[in-house]
Amino acid sequence: MQLAPPDPSILARRDRIIADLQRLLPGAIVHEPAGLATYDSDALSAYRQRPLACALPANKDEVSTLLAYAAEQNLPVVPRGAGTSLSGGALPRPDGIVIGLARMNRILEIDLENRCAVVEPGVTNLAVTRAVEGDGFYYAPDPSSQVACTIGGNVAENSGGLHCLKYGITTNNLLGVELALPGGERVRLGGKALALGGLDLLGIVTGSEGLLGIAVEATLRLRPRPPVTRTLLVAFDTVAAAGRCVADIIGAGIIPAAMEFMDRRAADAVESYCAPGYPQHAEAILIIELDGVEGEVRDGVARVEHIAGTCGASLVRLAANEAERARIWAGRKAAFAATGKIAPDMLCMDGTIPRRALSDMLAAIAAMSARYGLAFCNVFHAGDGNLHPLILFDAMREGELARAEAFGAEILTLCVKMGGVLSGEHGIGVEKRDLMGAMFDEEDLAQQQRLKCAIDPKRLLNPDKVFPTLSACVEQGHMHVSGGRLPFANLPRF
């Protein structure tokens, strides 16, 4: 993966830029090497670059001030929440600034009548649920990183999580966003009231990976906590049987709140990491959760137990109480971290496939593993076909990182060939940028780039991410569409 070289004219102005930023946001600029080290990379730590400076605004006006300055100086800008992106979305540029949103972490309003919360972008995902659970509500998308990752990052990545099979991902739970555009102007997209008609601009911005603007406020849908939740742990002697069980449950019309898969290597690593009580010696386990009212859940559990039996499950265990249920989920949420027990380094893939292709895909990954000489384990959101093969390697060994990346690229390319896509929830970032050609032809990519360039004609926001190049915008004269204001021209401004 090659990133554009830094602009020497910006590097030459470094001291002046830092002085300007300190004047604009006194006490909120990080520029010393020790402080900047924190911002060198995100959770895709194989890629690192030190930014020119990092600005930590405390409110939306300060975000606008920074964006106006960046536009005036032609400075690249990388928005950053908690830096948990697994696709390198928050990787900085040496000739650009990072705008870190973590200080903007206030919950501005909880409106239970309208079942929504209005929050700043630096609020963590889990903090939203914590703030409303006493009233019987919660925020549904729950990435495993929810204790750290921010709502701004969730919006930018259109993040999913463990319980998205039934309740949807971020886009299904986001009612509105206030967006600071390149140049600093702010627009509101959506909000508490039902807004139909016109282009779905909120849909375009959700998952746009910080390329179109900075989310400075978000209005989130709150859901009432279902009265009953039951969790089953189901073990199988073969991965194929577990795959068949997933397909049969969905095929029977049952929509569990969550249905998660772990293969033996992953389950063993988790067991030795935090001992959640997973069955030993199973080749695959499923965690299946059903929620709703008592009768509905009781009926669902009985049907799932029956289907698991017909698929040859070696164990079906219903969590006896809330403590056991919490333990089962704590294990699943720790799965990525637990790989540290079995390998020094790990690359987490994030492709999707149609559910019926699951068994074929798992067999193909095993064959690739033998060919690349690298071990892997599988943890994924089985219900919606979102795979997270974890490739295990040692970056200190010559050539292993390159081999791991090639292995990952082959998995993702196969996902696309099987009818899936490159990313289910982690975004494209820099990680999958150069694979976009496997999913989109040149004209598709050019159309997407035209949208980017219409809103950000100077291409200052999160450059290097998502698109292999932005050549279509330059070659076809789309760099100057309406001064970058066309798509948002009629929206309220601040």
Task: Please provide residue 301's backbone torsions phi and psi, each rounded to the nearest 5 degrees.
Answer: -60, -45
CA-nearest of 241, 222, 181 to 205 is 181
41 part of the interface to ligand FAD, by CB under 6 A: no
153 part of the interface to ligand FAD, by CB under 6 A: yes
| HSE of 6, CA atoms in CB hemisphere, 13 A | 19
Q: Of 82-90, 269-277, 315-323, 371-379, which segment contacts ligand FAD by CB under 6 A?
A: 82-90
Name the DSSP class of 346. E
Q: Which of 41, 65, 129, 144 binds ligand FAD (CB under 6 A)?
A: 144
Q: Which two tokens stand for residue 295?
A: 């009768």
Binding pattern for the stretch 421-460 against ligand FAD, x by CB under 6 A and - elsewhere? ----xx----------------------------------
Say how many residues make up the chain: 494
Q: Of 77-85, 127-135, 195-203, 476-484, which segment contacts ligand FAD by CB under 6 A?
A: 77-85
Tell me if 117 sits within 8 A of 131, measured CB to CB.
yes
Give residues 212-251 in contact with ligand FAD (rule: CB under 6 A).
214-215
Buried b (16+ CB within 10 A) or exposed e, 165-177: bbbbbbbebbbbb
Give the whole-angstrom CA distance, residue 159 versus residue 6: 30
Give residues 98-127 in contact with ligand FAD (rule: CB under 6 A).
101, 121
- Least separation, in Å, of the C-beta of 294 and ligand FAD? 29
Q: Which of 95, 157, 178, 217 binds ligand FAD (CB under 6 A)?
A: 157
Tell me if 434 sits within 8 A of 155, measured CB to CB.
no
Q: Which two tokens stand for residue 455?
A: 């809103």
Q: Of 81-89, 196-204, 275-283, 372-380, which segment contacts ligand FAD by CB under 6 A?
A: 81-89
Nearer to ligand FAD, 208 or 369 (CB): 208
- Least separation, in Å, of the C-beta of 77 and ligand FAD? 9
Strands 174-180 and 97-100: unpaired
User: Tokens 């798992």, residue?
Assistant: 362
Binding pattern for the stretch 180-199 against ligand FAD, x by CB under 6 A and - elsewhere? --------------------
351 part of the interface to ligand FAD, by CB under 6 A: no
Q: Which two tokens stand for residue 473?
A: 């915008």
Region class of 207: left (phi > 0), else alpha (psi between -120 and 50), else beta: left
89 part of the interface to ligand FAD, by CB under 6 A: yes
Nearer to ligand FAD, 99 or 222 (CB): 99
Residue 391's DSSP bridge partners are 347, 376
Return the amino acid letter for 109: E
Strands 186-190 and 137-138: unpaired
Size of the site for ligand FAD (CB under 6 A): 36
What is the distance of C-alpha 447 from the center of its chain?
23
Q: Which of 86, 247, 411, 460 binds ligand FAD (CB under 6 A)?
A: 86
56 part of the interface to ligand FAD, by CB under 6 A: no
Please give the residue ranges that form the binding site for ligand FAD (CB under 6 A): 42-43, 78-86, 89-90, 101, 121, 143-145, 149-150, 152-154, 156-157, 159-161, 209-210, 214-215, 336, 425-426, 462
